[in-house]
């Protein structure tokens, strides 16, 4: 841990849950704070139901108790709870219903003790030999003294019996007031005392300052004794330190212990609603933009990738710039995203201005759009294309939503990961675009023309599989950078293939509808399911396993896609709708491109 190499100190404001009476023993006995000593209760009165009387080698009688009644509650008087039990051994006056037992007891006091993990009364006097041994069903009223200088003895009774619900077991001050449910103080931490053991980090408190200004040293029992009695002081604390790296470490620990507790705040619902609106608006823009782009290209549809790559240029540049600026204006794990929203607003305004000056000719309009679009689903090849789009969407949804989370999880394996993680994520986006998307989008038309749409589809799925499997073996976050070159195939080749295929098979006048339909299948079905399934797996099995399983799944589906396309090859009776699509696509451009495609 890098914290251990720092010689500085930091202050932490702490508020600890002290609802368990056992915890006050440590505060009283080892922290030496008298006002929190559990010393008010000096006696306990209860009804004991006798079940057996036996004689031991010490010549004393042991009166076994089957159950007890305290303040109207009935408890089983267990004892020796845990490895480091306290033998109470407090004197009690017993007033029993049985006359013989009552006469033998007389004015003698019997001591509370533990035998066979159950409460017993130990009586040692000359008359014990006259007691009738064996099963003795009797009831005795017990009045037991408690040593106020040893409050943990009452704690042992309350814990063993499970009697914390009673008033006598509630912690009280010497003035008779109930102790607070929380203990608040300021702790001073020396960072060089940081110790890492297995998956836990221990940071030692050198001293604490109470609200009244008094300084105390929070010592504990010896390590050997603590291992037996670790349940005596194990509170949950809210901690806020003046050191960003310590806060980050504590926050990650808090997140790991509260995975099953979710609180959906007002901010969450606002974010949720705005994300829905964003995806709705984005889906409309993308569908129209792709249709308009293909319309403007005319007979040069293979040049779509050369147009689309400029979007990747902007994405890559702004991701790198904004990621670096976020790290620059933030401290530790607490990131300030203001600069990203400012940049987004500025460039969106520029986008609106530029778009308003674009001159676009009206696209052809189908008079029977539902019937025309429906012909697409009569083609077996087109149905396979739709299924392929969903599978790629599943992989893309996982990538879009959880790659950066996975990078942050890998970065947390080192304590300085938060210092560079946003810059690294910006570099990831830059390499995805400049090293992957842009070159492949530029060459996409040439590659599709040479090997065909179908071959590219299979390659995309297998590339996704290899990429995800590599993610699953990451232990150093920086090794993600070379893996991002796969983005050239998994998006740089995928997106032109999907949109150009959809454009080629669209009947005249349905271009916008078909692009919207394919976009809905990709985003609305594929990426949505990928996000949902990936989120469940990520929460349950972490990122390493999630990416590994998705990777193997993508490879297997890629192989199945190759087999399916091989079986469909040269089988026109399975593809009746396809010829009708070619007929609708009567323009020479569409027919020529389809004829030149090796897969068609």
The SS3 of residue 166 is coil
Place of tokens 């010896």: 222
Q: Is the pLDDT of residue 459 over 90?
A: yes
Report for 128-142, 315-329, 346-360, 476-490: range of highest mean pLDDT: 476-490
Q: Is the pLDDT of residue 338 over 70?
A: yes
- The model's confidence at residue 583, banded by pLDDT at 50, 70 and 90, is very low
pLDDT the model gives residue 467: 94
- The model's confidence at residue 465, banded by pLDDT at 50, 70 and 90, is very high
Stretch among 164-178, 303-317, 393-407, 579-593 having the lowest mean pLDDT:
579-593
Q: Is the pLDDT of residue 506 over 90?
A: no
Stretch among 72-76, 83-87, 309-313, 467-471 having the lowest mean pLDDT:
83-87
Q: Are 128 and 59 in contact (CB under 8 A)?
A: yes
- The model's confidence at residue 87, banded by pLDDT at 50, 70 and 90, is low
Q: Which position has the higher pLDDT, 236 or 224?
A: 236
Q: Is the pLDDT of residue 326 over 70?
A: yes
Mean pLDDT of 41-53: 87
DSSP symbols for 380-440? HHHHHHHHHHHHHHHHHHHHHHHHHHHHHHHHTTSTTHHHHHHHHHHHHHHIIIIIIIHHH
CB burial of 236-271 (b: ≥16 within 10 Å; e: otherwise) equals: ebebebebbbbbbbbeeeeeeeeeeeeeeeeeeeee
- The model's confidence at residue 34, banded by pLDDT at 50, 70 and 90, is low
What is the percentage of the chain residues whose pLDDT exceeds 90? 12
pLDDT the model gives residue 595: 39
Q: Is the pLDDT of residue 103 over 70?
A: yes
Stretch among 211-220, 328-337, 393-402, 498-507 having the lowest mean pLDDT:
328-337
pTM of the model: 0.50
Mean pLDDT of 469-484: 91
Nearest to 78 by CA among 121, 114, 43, 122: 114
**CB burial class (10 A; 0-12, 13-18, 19+) of residue 59?**
exposed
Mean pLDDT of 320-349: 76
**CB burial class (10 A; 0-12, 13-18, 19+) of residue 588?**
exposed
Q: Is the pLDDT of residue 554 over 90?
A: yes
Mean pLDDT of 525-533: 88
Q: Is the pLDDT of residue 259 over 50?
A: no
Q: Which position has the higher pLDDT, 570 or 332?
A: 570
Q: Which position has the higher pLDDT, 83 or 443?
A: 443
pLDDT the model gives residue 581: 36
Q: Is the pLDDT of residue 137 over 80?
A: no
pLDDT the model gives residue 585: 33
Q: Which position has the higher pLDDT, 545 or 304?
A: 545
User: Distance of CA 530 to CAs 152, 193, 398, 428, 429, Å?
Assistant: 55, 44, 5, 21, 20
User: Distance of CA 500 to CAs 504, 505, 509, 583, Å?
Assistant: 6, 9, 16, 18
Q: Is the pLDDT of residue 518 over 60?
A: yes
Mean pLDDT of 94-120: 83
Stretch among 262-266, 377-381, 473-477 having the lowest mean pLDDT:
262-266
Q: Is the pLDDT of residue 365 over 80?
A: no
Structural domains in the chain?
2-19+185-247 (no CATH), 39-161 (2.40.30), 308-360+373-584 (1.20.1250.20)
Report for 4-8, 173-177, 253-257, 310-314: range of highest mean pLDDT: 310-314
Q: Is the pLDDT of residue 107 over 60?
A: yes
Q: Is the pLDDT of residue 150 over 60?
A: yes
Mean pLDDT of 171-189: 79
Q: Which position has the higher pLDDT, 66 or 39?
A: 66
DSSP symbols for 526-554? IIHHHHHHHHHHHHHHHHHHHHHHHHHHH
pLDDT the model gives residue 317: 77
């Amino acid at each position: 841990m890098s914290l251990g190499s720092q010689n500085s100190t930091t202050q932490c404001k702490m508020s600890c849950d002290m609802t368990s009476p056992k915890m006050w023993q440590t505060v009283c006995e080892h922290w030496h704070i008298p006002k929190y000593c559990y010393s008010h209760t000096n006696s306990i009165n209860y009804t004991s139901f006798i079940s057996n009387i036996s004689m031991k080698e010490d010549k004393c009688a042991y009166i076994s108790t089957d159950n007890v009644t305290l303040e109207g509650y009935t408890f089983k008087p267990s004892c020796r709870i845990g490895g480091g039990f306290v033998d109470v051994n407090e004197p009690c006056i017993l007033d029993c219903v049985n006359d013989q037992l009552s006469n033998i007891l007389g004015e003698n006091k019997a001591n509370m003790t533990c035998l066979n993990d159950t409460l017993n009364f130990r009586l040692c006097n000359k008359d014990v030999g006259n007691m009738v041994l064996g099963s003795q069903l009797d009831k005795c009223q017990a009045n037991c003294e408690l040593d106020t200088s040893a409050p943990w003895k009452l704690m042992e009774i309350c814990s063993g019996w499970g009697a914390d619900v009673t008033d006598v077991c509630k912690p009280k001050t010497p003035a008779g007031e109930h102790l607070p449910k929380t203990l608040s103080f300021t702790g001073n931490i020396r960072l060089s005392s940081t110790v890492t053991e297995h998956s836990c980090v221990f940071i030692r408190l050198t001293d604490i300052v109470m609200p009244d200004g008094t300084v105390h040293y929070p010592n504990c029992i010896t390590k050997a004794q603590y291992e037996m009695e670790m349940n005596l002081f194990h509170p949950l604390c809210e901690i806020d330190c003046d050191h960003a790296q310590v806060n980050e470490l504590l926050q990650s620990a808090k997140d790991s212990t509260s995975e099953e507790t979710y609180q959906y705040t007002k901010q969450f619902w606002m974010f949720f609603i705005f994300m829905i609106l964003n995806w709705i608006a984005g889906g409309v823009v993308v569908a129209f933009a792709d249709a308009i782009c293909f319309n403007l290209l005319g007979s040069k549809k293979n040049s779509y990738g050369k147009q689309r790559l400029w979007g990747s240029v902007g994405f890559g540049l702004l991701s790198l710039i904004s990621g670096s600026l976020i790290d620059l204006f933030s401290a530790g794990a607490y990131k300030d995203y203001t600069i990203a929203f400012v940049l987004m607003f500025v460039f969106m305004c520029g986008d609106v201005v530029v778009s308003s000056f674009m001159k676009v000719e009206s696209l052809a309009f189908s008079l029977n759009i539902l019937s025309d679009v429906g012909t697409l689903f009569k083609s077996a090849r087109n149905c396979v294309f739709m299924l392929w789009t969903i599978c790629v969407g599943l992989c893309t949804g996982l990538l879009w939503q959880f790659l950066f989370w996975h990078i942050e999880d890998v970065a947390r394996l080192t304590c300085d990961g938060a210092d560079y993680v946003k810059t690294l994520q910006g570099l990831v986006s830059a390499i995805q675009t400049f090293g992957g998307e842009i070159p492949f989008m530029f060459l996409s038309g040439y590659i599709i023309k040479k090997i065909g749409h179908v071959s590219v589809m299979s390659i995309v799925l297998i590339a996704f599989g290899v990429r995800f499997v590599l993610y699953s073996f990451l232990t150093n976050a920086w090794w993600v950078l070379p893996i991002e070159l796969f983005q050239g195939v998994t998006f740089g080749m995928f997106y032109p293939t999907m949109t150009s295929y959809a454009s080629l098979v669209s009947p005249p006048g349905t271009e916008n509808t078909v692009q919207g339909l394919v976009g809905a299948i990709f985003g609305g079905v594929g990426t949505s399911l990928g996000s949902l399934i990936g989120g469940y797996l990520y929460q349950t099995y972490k990122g390493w396993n999630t990416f590994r399983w998705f990777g193997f799944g993508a490879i297997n589906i890629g192989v199945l896609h190759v087999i399916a396309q091989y079986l469909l090859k040269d089988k026109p009776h399975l593809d009746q709708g396809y010829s009708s699509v070619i007929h609708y696509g009567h323009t020479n451009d569409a027919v020529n491109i389809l004829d030149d495609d090796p897969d068609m």
